[in-house]
């Protein structure tokens, strides 16, 4: 359990928008970075004056959120925090889940409300927080999380599937749409700019909280975090990065957001590679001839799935979990795959010649060849760092130099 800090602001803002306490373009005074309430100071990382509610989210103003929560009221705030699942286990299919620590509203003191608003005076678990984020961006439904999506047998057939289990509707779909757009603005022009992923619309929220050590908040040790998702309009990936006691820089936007960017980019590339194969978007050596995709390096079940999408019978030779070589008979439309283990596998792939292609077309070609990429410039590819036609290890990085004019 930990105090989440500013990643918790998505819960506060959801209640604010749902109850129409403020609108996005309403202004609130952020006290130039220092706000004294009941003899306790609430501070921001940088001074802000009159800002909109949207800017309060972008710039993660603790002061603005404390003020908004006090206008929302303790009873309403308590309701939303509870409805988002805090203080209870999520029911994820793992043993030993903690409840977190969230007091009943009658046990709150006068500082509890303004401090819960920006993620203090409450202890959460990462699975609670990411489940709450899912509800905030999926249209407002709290969903019971599962560890496993489905179970396949050795032949690649699905034998059991775990369906999503809606628990309750917390906020309206309209409020959820607003939250997604606000979180996108955090990444585009707020504290989360280092979470950006090229070619993907991302949203998210940074968080930095002081650790409570021996009853006092430390000025040396922090919890740094970033909760992010993509694509914004129809989210399918949600990722929470939490770093305990980072050394040196400690703001969530500095240390956690870049990790989200790297993890999210890798998943995006892998997902699109699979998607392109499943849609039968493969190399054409001519207008009439299809070349079967390279399955070397794939696990056995994945190879079966791809072969099925081409209606191609598969014969396996040897033992192991990975495809180490393949023979495809185009005339017979038959496929022989040799299996081996990781230590036997040194997968190579042929580098496509992408010079003259648009950047999007070139990236698709590299993804299909199981290659990673770096891009310099925009428009059309005029140079590539690895010459087309050669064989290189899978996941090699090919740099694309682009220009708007060929």
Mean pLDDT for the stretch of residues 251-263? 95
Using omega within 30 degrees of 0 as the cis cutoff, is the peptide bond preceding 158 cis?
no
Model confidence at 278, in pLDDT bands (50, 70, 90)?
A: very low
Active site residue 6: yes
The CATH number of 348-403 is 3.30.10.20
CB 375 within 8 A of CB 402: yes
CA distances from 381 to 200, 376, 400 (A): 20, 9, 6
Q: What is the pTM of this model?
A: 0.69
Give 105-163 pLDDT, tens digit per residue.
999 999 999 999 999 999 999 999 999 999 999 999 999 999 998 898 877 788 888 88
**Helix (H) or strand (E) run with residue 70 in it:** helix 62-72
Handedness of CA 188, 192, 196, 201 (dihedral sign): negative
Model confidence at 319, in pLDDT bands (50, 70, 90)?
A: confident
Say which range, 57-71, 82-96, 186-200, 358-372, has the weakest mean pLDDT: 358-372
- Please determine whether the domains at 280-344 and 348-403 fall in the same fold group of CATH: yes
Mean pLDDT for the stretch of residues 294-319? 81
In this structure, whether the domain defined by 280-344 belongs to CATH 3.30.10 is answered with: yes
pLDDT attached to residue 275:
53
What residues form DSSP beta bridges with 206?
226
Model confidence at 342, in pLDDT bands (50, 70, 90)?
A: low
How many percent of the chain have pLDDT more than 90?
56
Query: Domain segments of the chain: what residues?
Result: 5-271, 280-344, 348-403
pLDDT attached to residue 349:
81
pLDDT attached to residue 287:
36
Task: Give the CATH H-level superfamily of domain 5-271.
Answer: DD-peptidase/beta-lactamase superfamily (3.40.710.10)
Give 23-52 pLDDT, tens digit per residue.
989 999 999 999 999 889 999 999 999 999
Model confidence at 326, in pLDDT bands (50, 70, 90)?
A: confident
Active-site position among 6, 61, 121, 225: 6
The answer to whether residue 359 scores a pLDDT higher than 80 is: yes
């Amino acid at each position: 359990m930990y105090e989440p800090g500013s990643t918790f602001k998505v819960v506060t803002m959801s209640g604010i928008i749902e109850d129409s306490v403020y609108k996005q373009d309403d202004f609130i005074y952020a006290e130039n970075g220092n706000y004294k309430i009941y003899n306790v100071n609430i501070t921001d990382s940088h001074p802000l004056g009159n800002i909109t509610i949207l800017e309060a989210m972008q710039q993660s103003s603790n002061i603005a959120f404390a003020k908004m929560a006090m206008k929302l009221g303790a009873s309403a705030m308590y309701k939303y925090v509870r409805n988002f699942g805090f203080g209870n286990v999520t029911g994820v299919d793992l043993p030993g889940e903690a409840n977190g620590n969230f007091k009943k509203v009658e046990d709150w003191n006068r500082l509890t409300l303004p401090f819960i608003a920006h993620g203090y005076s409450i202890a959460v678990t990462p699975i609670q927080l990411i489940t709450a984020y899912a509800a905030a961006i999926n249209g407002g439904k709290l969903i019971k999380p599962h560890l496993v999506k489905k179970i396949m047998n050795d032949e690649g057939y699905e034998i059991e599937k775990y369906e999503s289990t809606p628990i309750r509707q917390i906020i309206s779909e309209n409020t959820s749409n607003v939250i997604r757009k606000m979180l996108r603005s955090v990444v585009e022009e707020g504290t989360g700019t280092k979470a950006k992923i090229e070619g993907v619309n991302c949203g998210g929220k940074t968080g930095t909280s002081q650790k409570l050590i021996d009853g006092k908040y430390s000025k040396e040790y922090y919890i740094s975090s970033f909760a992010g998702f993509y694509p914004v309009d129809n989210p399918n990936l949600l990722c929470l990065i939490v770093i305990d006691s980072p050394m040196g820089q400690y703001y969530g936007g500095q240390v956690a957001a870049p990790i989200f960017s790297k993890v999210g980019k890798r998943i995006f590339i892998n997902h699109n590679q699979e998607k392109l194969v499943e849609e039968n978007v493969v190399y054409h050596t001519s207008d009439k001839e299809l070349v079967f995709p390279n399955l070397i390096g794939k696990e056995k079940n994945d190879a079966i799935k791809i072969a099925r999408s081409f209606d191609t019978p598969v014969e396996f030779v040897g033992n192991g979990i990975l495809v180490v070589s393949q023979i495809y008979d185009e005339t017979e439309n038959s496929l022989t795959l040799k299996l081996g283990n990781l230590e036997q596998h040194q997968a190579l792939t042929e580098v496509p010649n992408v010079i003259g292609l648009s950047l999007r077309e070139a990236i698709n070609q590299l993804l299909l060849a199981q290659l990673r990429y770096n891009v310099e410039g925009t428009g059309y590819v005029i140079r590539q760092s690895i010459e087309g036609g050669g064989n290189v290890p899978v996941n090699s990085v090919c740099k694309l130099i682009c220009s708007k004019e060929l």
